[in-house]
Amino acid sequence: MFCYQCQEAAKGEGCTIKGVCGKEDSTANLQDLLVYVTKGVSLVTEIAKKNSVAIDKADKFVFEALFVTITNANFDDNKITNKIIEGIQVRDALKKELEDKGVAIPSLPANATWVAESDEAIKAKSEIVGILTEQNEDIRSLKELLTYGLKGMAAYAEHAFNLGYIDEKVFAFMHKALVATTRTDITVDELVGLTLECGEYGVNVMALLDKANTESYGNPEITKVNIGVRNNPAILISGHDLKDMEELLKQTDGTGVDVYTHSEMLPAHYYPAFKKYEHFVGNYGNAWWKQKEEFESFNGAILFTTNCIVPPKDSYKDRVYTTGASGFDGCTHIADRKDGQPKDFSVIIEHAKKLPAPTEIETGEIVGGFAHNQVLQLADKVVDAVKTGAIKKFLVMAGCDGRMKGREYYTDFADQLPQDTVILTAGCAKYRYNKLPLGDIGGIPRVLDAGQCNDSYSLAVVALKLKEVFELNDINELPIAYNIAWYEQKAVIVLLALLHLGVKNIHLGPTLPAFLSPNVVNVLVENFGIAGIGTVEEDLKLHLA
Ligand code: FSO
Ligand code: SF4
C-alpha cells in the first residue's frame, strides 16, 4: 500500500505498512482499485453521454465509490470488493447499450477494460494500480490533489442526492476530471487548470447541499445544545448525513430511546425541523478522534452515517452500526433505501433499548447555528461592530480536527486571540475551542459556528455579503484572516472552493499535505499565498496585522 491522502500520513510522507487511520494494507489496495475502476466508469460514461445513453446509474456509482474511499469512511474489504464488481457491471452495461446502438467504442485505457475474474485476480490487480504508478512527482501530486478534491465533492453530492437534489454539471465535471487523471500525456498546466475548475464545482456542490439542507429542514438558527445526558437508553449518531438523521429521529420517536449527536452531526441541532423532537437530547463528546473513550462511556448504540471511524475496540464494537458509505468489518451495516422507502433502523433501535443510559462526561451547553441566513439577520449588528471597532478582525478557523499533538496550536491560538476578534468556524475543527469561555462582543458570540465542514460555504456567503456592504472590490480587503485546519479530503474541496472564490493567503495546518510536491506547493504559494502555520505568537502577529 501507499496512501498519502490525509493529514496524518505516516512521517508526513505516506502510509506504507498500515494506515495511521487503521486502514489495512489490503483495504488500501482495494480502495486504489476501486478508484481505478471508477475512472474506467467515467471513461465509458463520457462516451455514453455523447451518444444519448442514460448515465444516471454511472453518476450515482461514481460519487458513491469515491465517498467509500475517503479517509476512515470504510474499512470493510467485502464492501469495497462488491463496489469494484458493481463498477465493472455499471461500465459494461453502458458499453452494451452503446454496442446495441451501433456505436463504435474507441480503444480505451485498461481502467475501462479490466475485468475481475476471481478474488485472486482482484487482489493481484489491487497491488499494482496504486498512486505510485504515476512516476512524475508533480503530475502525481496534481492528479491526486484533483482526485481528493473530487472525493470531497462526491461526499457533498451524495448528501444532496439523498435529499433529492442533483446537479448534472457537477457529475459531468467529476467524469471529465477522472478521465483526465487517466491520461499519460496530460501536462502540469492542464492539471492546474482542472484543479482550479474543481474549486468552482466545489462551490456549486456546497451551494447545492446548502439548498438541499435548508429547503428540507429549514434555515439553521442560533441554538444552545446541551452537552449533558438524560437517564434513558440512547443512540449516538455520527457522520454528516442529515437524511439519516431525519429517519432515525422519526423511527426512535416514542420508543423511549434518546438520540444524541456526535462530532460533525452536532449542527443537526441547529435545524428547525429536528428541534421538535423531545428525545433529541444533545451532543455527546468531542471531535471524531476521541471516540474510543467516549463510545465506551456512551454505553448505548452508535450509528456512523459517514466518516470518521476509528477502528472500534472489542469492548464496544458490537454496539457500532454503519450505513451509507461507511463500513467496518464485523459491524452491522444498515442497508440503503430502496424504492423511495426510508432505511430501516429497527435493529439498532431494538439493540439500544437493551443498553444502559450514557454516563455523563460533561455538562453545560454549546452555542451554534450561525449559517448564512442567521448571520445575515444579524448583519446590521455585525457591520456596526466592525464600524465602531468593537470587532477588529474575523478569523476563519474552519476545517477538521485530528489526533496530532500539534493541533493544540488551535486551542492556544483561539484562546489568545484578543477580545475584539471573532472566530468563524465550520467542521469538526471547532471542538478545539468551542467549549472555551471566549465570551461575546455586544451579544455576538466570539465563536460563530456555521455547521458542518460543507457549511464553510456559509462563511463564504457571509464574506461576499460583507464585501458588498463595505463596497469593497476584493474579498481579500475584508478584515478576515484564514487559519484553517485540515484532515481529510472534504477539507481539500473546501480549500479549492475558497481559492476559486478568490481568497488569498490561507494558512493551512497543522502540516501541509504530503501529496503536494515541492513544485506544486510553489504554485500554490506564488499564486494564492498559501502557507503553513508557525508558532501561536508569530501567527497572532501575522493574522492581526
Ligand atoms: Fe471532521 Fe471527519 Fe467534516 Fe471531515 S468529522 S474530519 S473534513 O469527516 O468532514 O469535519
Ligand atoms: Fe495514512 Fe491517511 Fe491514508 Fe489512512 S488515509 S492510510 S492515515 S494517509
Mean pLDDT of 53-58: 98
| pLDDT band (50, 70, 90) for residue 467 | very high
Which cell numbers hold the place of 299? 454505553
Determine whether the shortest distance from the Cβ of 32 to ligand 2 is under 6 A: no
Ligand 1 centre distance from Cα of residue 277 (Å)? 25
Which pLDDT score is estimated for 179? Answer: 98
Q: Which ligand neighbours the alpha carbon of 69 most closely?
A: 2
Contacts of 247-253 with C-beta under 8 Å, sequence gap 24+, read 247/342, 247/343, 247/345, 248/303, 248/345, 249/274, 249/277, 249/279, 249/280, 250/342, 251/342, 251/345, 251/346, 251/349, 252/279, 252/345, 252/349, 253/277, 253/279
Look at residues 22, 43, 34, 27 and name the one whose alpha carbon lies nearest to residue 109.
Answer: 43
- The rounded Å distance from CA 309 to ligand 1 centre is 10
Taking all residues of the chain, what is their mean pLDDT, rounded to a whole number?
98
pLDDT at position 113: 98
- Report d(CA 487, CA 9) in Å as an integer: 10
Q: Which pLDDT score, from 0 to 100, does residue 236 have? A: 99
pLDDT at 255: 98
What's the CA-to-centroid distance between 517 and ligand 2, angstroms?
A: 17
pLDDT band at 267 (very low <50, low <70, confident <90, very high): very high
Q: Note the ligand closest to the C-alpha atom of 71.
A: 2
> Does 4 sit in the ligand 2 pocket, CB within 6 Å?
yes
- Among all bound ligands, the one having the nearest atom to the CA of 453 is 1
Task: Specify whether domain 10-216 bears CATH 1.20.1270.20.
Answer: yes
400 Cα distance to chain centroid: 9
Cell of 211: 439548498
Per DSSP, the residues of 159-208 read HHHHTT---HHHHHHHHHHHHHTT-SS--HHHHHHHHHHHHHHHHHHHHH
- With cut-offs at 50, 70 and 90, classify the pLDDT of residue 282: very high
Mean local confidence (pLDDT), 495-511:
97
Give residue 147 CA to ligand 1 midpoint distance, Å. Answer: 17
Q: Shortest CA distance to 158 belongs to which of 74, 63, 237?
A: 63
If you average pLDDT over residues 222-237, what whole number do you get?
98
In short, whether 223's Cβ falls inside 6 Å of ligand 2 is no
Confidence of residue 279 (pLDDT cuts 50, 70, 90): very high
Q: What is the pLDDT of residues 58-94, one digit of tens each?
A: 999 999 999 999 999 999 999 999 999 999 999 999 9
What is the pLDDT at residue 303? 98
Cα 437 to averaged position of ligand 2 atoms, centre (Å) = 34
Task: Summarize the confidence of residues 48-55 as an average pLDDT.
Answer: 98
Instruction: Count other Cβ atoms within 10 Å, centred on residue 119.
Output: 9
CB atoms within 10 A of CB 88: 17
CB-based contact 235:300 (threshold 8 Å):
yes
pLDDT band at 146; cut points 50, 70, 90: very high
Where do you find CATH 3.40.50.2030 in the chain? 223-353, 371-544
Please tell me if the CB atom of residue 73 comes closer than 6 angstroms to any atom of ligand 2.
Answer: no
pLDDT digits (tens, 9 = 90+) for 38-51: 999 999 999 999 99
Q: What is the mean predicted confidence (pLDDT) over 16-25?
A: 98
pLDDT in tens, 322-365: 999 999 999 999 999 999 999 999 999 999 999 999 999 999 99
What pLDDT score does 507 carry? 98
Choose the residue to mutate in 294, 428, 434, 484 for probing ligand 1, maximizing ligand atoms within 8 Å of C-beta: 428
Atom 6 of ligand 2, nearest CA residue: 19
Spell out the residues 6+ positions from residue 244 whose beta carbon is closer than 8 angstroms to its own.
162, 237, 303, 305, 323, 324, 343
For residue 457, the model assigns a pLDDT of: 96
Mean pLDDT value of segment 148-170: 98
Confirm or reject: Cβ of 413 under 6 Å from ligand 2. no
pLDDT, position 185: 97
| Mean pLDDT for the stretch of residues 292-300 | 98
Per-residue pLDDT, averaged over 272-282, amounts to 98
In this prediction, residue 490 carries a pLDDT of 98
Task: Give CATH 1.20.1270.20 domain extents, the chain.
Answer: 10-216
Q: What is the pLDDT of residue 395?
A: 98
- The pLDDT assigned to 78 comes to 98
Name the CATH topology of 223-353.
Rossmann fold (3.40.50)
Sorting pLDDT into bands at 50, 70 and 90, what band is 281? very high
The contacts of residue 483 (CB under 8 Å, 6+ apart) are 395, 396, 397, 410, 413, 507, 509, 533, 539, 543
Is any atom of ligand 2 closer than 6 Å to the C-beta of 15?
Answer: yes
Q: Which of 5, 305, 487 to mutate to test the pocket of ligand 1 (most atoms within 8 A of CB)?
A: 487
* Fold (topology level) of 371-544: Rossmann fold (3.40.50)
